[in-house]
Amino acid sequence: MTIKQIIKHPIAQYAVNYLIAFALMMICRIIFIAANSNFYGDIEPSHYLTLFKGGMKYDFAAIFYLTAVAFFMMIMPFKFSLNATYRKIAKYFFIIPVAIGIFANMFDTAFFPFNGRRTNFSFFSEFQNENNLVGIFFGGLVDYWYLVLAAAALIFVLIKFYYNPKVSAEDFPVRKYALKTLPATLLCIYFFMAGLRGSLIIDNDHRPMNMNNANEYIRKSNESAIVLNTPYCILRTMGKISFSNPEYFSADELERIYTPVHYPTPRGEFKKMNVVIIILESFGKEYSGLFNGNEGYTPFLDSLYKQGLTFTNSFATGRKSIDAMPSILAGIPYLTDHFFMSMYSNNKVNSVASLLKSKGYYSAFYHGAPNGSMGFLHFSRLAGFDDYYGMTEYCNDQSFNAMDDFDGHWAIWDEEFLQYYAKSMGEIPQPFVTACFTATSHNPFRIPEKYKERFPEGPQPITKCIQYTDNALRLFFDRMKQYPWYENTLFVITADHTNQTLSREYTTDRNVFKVPILIYQPGGIKKMSEKLFCQADITPTILDYLNYDKPYIAFGNSYFNNSDTTGYVVNFSEPLYQISMDKYFLQFDGTKETGFFIPDDDIMLENNLIGKFPDIETKMLDLLKAEIQQYHVRMIENNLTIKE
């Protein structure tokens, strides 16, 4: 072929447009880093080169995934691929998917501070029950207008510079076109396969690339979001089965190292106390003045922390609201996949509600969003809660003005819904166990007009919401104190996950999970415990507090069981599993240990000590592996309850 024929050939056309799309994907990565610079301020330039090297592989793969139809249309070694209409169709099959990929990257640029990782396919299941998605979507477009403009500019460049040379019949004589094009077609197919696999070597010894390969380039887990891109993560997790037995240990070894089966040893008769569990949306420990030696944004909670059993080293197990409910109420942490979104979401589970039912307890779950939002209604039923009180029930209560109390995006304002929650508990049978999930401290971070002067904007948009909900909790407790059974009630207050950060120390792989946990009975235990404690420990601790006496399964530990020990915490910072024990912190990618730190001496986790404490590392790693394996095996076998 002549030079003129080569540059006009459909394969060359695809190649040029592929390079344009590749450049735009890399620009998306740069925008992502710039917009989230508070998470990446400590990365030196040389390490950015390493991250971008890994990112190039994922961008190569993502573009091939997105443009697969256009790719095969353009490389066909047949004359009809030169037809103008045919090439116009191929153009749309190229531009539209890449434009969607660019928009997805911009979406994650805004969503990352709340999510802590790249979005995957589970996102669509997570929000499938939201009734106001259109309003939320357009509200997000307004809030992040600058990213919308960036996406529009990149898509404009994609369309404006799309390479589509004019081809005449004289440019490519019919004779031997297919024969001359076939070698290039085969070479393109090879590069297509290599791009998807992440390696130019295609054989059985080189495994295809997946999301975990990002670990090869990172130093801490949140850097994987730089290496990866959103369209790749979404496409690679479609229909994915996440659970499989990792077979770290034999069955006997596994039971010896770790089991989630609890055999309580009560310290007295069962106490029929009411149990009230409040899960605060996005209340990171960073917002509390008590824990940080500053004024903070939670004066009421800070005063309450001093009146109960409060944990100074307390953690979430995941980074999403859908991870918190199973962890807090059923001792099912986020390990590998979101329980709500997994194929095992209908497994039989025990929870604080189902277990206390055998003691005569009534149970109810409260959430001020539309019924079914976030899958909470489904899980509350699965977990054995007797009733669910959502926006529907709130609107049916004539004591409240539902039209005025809706925040316009997600749910009823926290103040009004917590008052409804308190009123409802005065009407239900005792003893009861209830749980309430607040909503106001959620993006787009708005508060009622009447409070805008009282709780003005702070260093981050969320801080005004934190102050507002803290005050709503004060009013809630004022109402609860009016009930004669108030002092016979055990209150548990925690958060689902952290959110916008105010200081760099809360951006590390460990501290990004720090949430408050308070166990409070009026006139009961007053202690600031330094024991490591997480959301999955809450249900076992409640049951132990009440002197519950029957076996159950939970991937957590009671505070009162070996309360003199330092405890340990396991969480999953995709793609890394993490365990904190004593003063040590270890990270594991499912195959090998990747990090070992002493956070008290190295708050930013910059000094990796792998190999320096082999005995401690082995002990921590074995415990972490055993919990992961128990979790996978029991999830697969639907073995999350004690068999009768």
* Per-residue pLDDT reduced to its tens digit, 315-348: 999 988 889 999 999 999 998 878 877 767 778 8
Is 60 exceeded by the pLDDT of residue 33?
A: yes
CB atoms within 10 A of CB 233: 24
| Higher pLDDT among residues 186 and 521, named by residue | 521
Please report how the helices 10-35 and 68-75 are oriented relative to each other, as an axis angle in degrees rounded to 10. 160
| Higher pLDDT among residues 213 and 74, named by residue | 74
**H or E segment and range at residue 465:** helix 462-480
| Higher pLDDT among residues 206 and 535, named by residue | 535
Cα atoms in the Cβ-side hemisphere of radius 13 Å centred on 111: 20
Is 70 exceeded by the pLDDT of residue 138?
A: no
Residues with Cβ within 8 Å of residue 294, at least 6 apart in sequence: none
Mean pLDDT of the chain: 89
pLDDT at 205: 44
pLDDT at 231: 93
* Least confident interval from 21-25, 199-203, 268-272, 481-485: 199-203
| Higher pLDDT among residues 134 and 97, named by residue | 97
**Euclidean distance between CA atoms 431 and 353, whole angstroms:** 11
pTM of the shown model: 0.78
pLDDT at 376: 87
Range list for CATH 3.40.720.10 in the chain: 258-331+345-524+535-555
pLDDT at 640: 93
pLDDT at 579: 97
pLDDT at 241: 60
**Euclidean distance between CA atoms 284 and 534, whole angstroms:** 13
- pLDDT band at residue 159 under the 50/70/90 scheme: very high
**CATH code that applies to domain 258-331+345-524+535-555:** 3.40.720.10
pLDDT at 172: 67
pLDDT at 169: 55
| Higher pLDDT among residues 579 and 166, named by residue | 579
Q: Give 547-602 pLDDT, tens digit per residue.
A: 999 999 999 999 998 755 688 999 998 889 999 999 999 999 999 999 999 999 99
pLDDT at 207: 56
pLDDT at 443: 84
DSSP 461: T
- β 274-280/432-437 pair status: parallel
